[in-house]
Amino acid sequence: MKSSLVLAIFCLSIPAFSTPSLEPPKLRLDGSAQPSHYAVDLTLVPDRDTFRGSADISLDVRTPADIIWLNAVGLEIQAAIFQPASGAALPARTVTGGDQFLGFAFDRPISGAGVLHVAYQGKISRISNAGVFQLEEDGRWYVYSQFEPTDARRAFPCFDEPSFKVPWQVTLHVPKDDLALSNTPVESETSEANGMKAVRFKPSPPLPSYLVAFTVGPFDIVDAGRVGPTPLRVIVPKGKSADAQDAATAIPQLLKLLEDYIGIPFPYEKLDSVVMPVSDFAMENAGLITYAESSLLADPATETINHKRELAGICAHEMSHQWFGDLVTTAWWNDTWLNEAFATWMERKIPGEWKPDWDLAVTEVNARVGAMRSDELASAREIRQPIQSNDDIANAFDDITYEKGGAVIEMFEHWIGPEKFRAGVQAYLKQHAWGNATAGDFEAAMSKVAGRDVAPAFDSFLDQPGVPEVSIALKCGRHPVLEVSQKRSLPVGSQAKPQTWQIPICVAYEANGTVHHQCSLLTETKGEIELTGAEKCPAWILPNDEETGYYQVAYQDELLKKVLADHGGHLTVAERVGVLGDVDSLSSEGEVSAQTALALVPEFSQDPDWHVVQAAADIAALLKGESVPSNLRAKGARFIRQQFGDRATALGWVSKPGESDDTRLLRQKLVPFVASSGEESELIEQDEKLAREWLATRRGIGPDMLAPALRVAAEFGNRDLFNSLRTAVIEERDHHLREVMLDALGSFRNPELARAALDLLLSKDIDVRESFYPLLFGPISFLDTRDIPFEFVKQHLNELLKRLPREVGEDYAAMLPQVGATFCETKDRNALDAFFADRVKDYNGGPRTLAQTLEGIDLCIAARKSMAPELAAFLNKY
* Interacting residues with Zn ion (CB under 5 A): 1, 340, 343
Name 436's bridge partners.
329
- State the nearest-atom distance from the C-beta of 1 to Zn ion, in Å: 4
Q: Give 315 or 670: the residue with its C-beta nearer to Zn ion.
A: 315
- Judged by beta carbon, residue 1 or residue 11, the one nearer Zn ion is 1
- The CB-of-838 to Zn ion minimum distance in angstroms stands at 33
Largest CA-CA distance found in the chain, in angstroms, rounded: 92
3-class state of residue 745 by DSSP: helix
Output the CA torsion sign for 592, 621, 702, 351. positive
Provide the 8-state DSSP code for 207.
B
Chain-centre distance for alpha carbon 511: 41
- Shortest distance (Å) from residue 320 CB to Zn ion: 8
Distance CA 578, CA 572 (A): 10
Those residues with Cβ within 8 angstroms of residue 641's Cβ, 6 or more apart along the chain or in another chain? 674, 678, 679, 680
Q: Catalogue the E-assigned strands of 124-208.
A: 131-137, 140-146, 168-175, 179-182, 186-191, 196-201
Neighbours of 190 (CB within 10 A): 10
With beta carbons less than 8 A apart as the criterion, state whether 710 and 744 touch.
yes
Contact 486, 521 (CB under 8 A): no
CB nearer to Zn ion: give 1 or 371. 1
Separation between Cα atoms, residue 217 and residue 48, nearest integer Å: 12
Q: How far is the CB of 338 from Zn ion (least distance, A)?
A: 11
* Active-site residue, selected from the candidate residues 318, 364, 403, 547: 318
Residue 322 Cβ, how far from Zn ion at the closest point, in Å?
11
Q: Which of 274/775 has CB closer to Zn ion?
A: 274
Report in angstroms how near the CB of residue 2 gets to Zn ion at its nearest.
5
Give CA–CA dist 41/38, Å, rounded: 10
| Distance from C-alpha of 838 to C-alpha of 535, rounded to nearest angstrom | 64
Instruction: Output phi, psi for 652, to 5 deg.
Output: 65, 180
Distance (Å, whole) CA 626 – CA 868: 9
For Zn ion, the closer of residues 352 and 746 by Cβ is 352
State which residue, 285 or 390, has the beta carbon closest to Zn ion. 285
Count of all residues that appear for the chain in the document: 878
Which own/partner contact pairs does 700-705 have at CB distance under 8 Å and 24+ positions apart? 700/654, 701/653, 701/654, 702/654, 702/655, 703/302, 703/303, 703/304, 703/305, 704/304, 704/305, 704/306, 704/655, 704/664, 704/665, 704/667, 704/668, 705/653, 705/654, 705/655, 705/667, 705/668, 705/671
Nearer to Zn ion, 53 or 352 (CB): 352
- The least distance separating Zn ion from the CB of residue 234, rounded to whole angstroms, comes to 19
Q: Does residue 575 carry a catalytic annotation?
A: no
Minimum distance of Zn ion from residue 339's CB (angstroms): 6
> Is the Cβ of residue 281 or residue 415 nearer to Zn ion in the bound state?
281
Residues with active-site annotation: 318
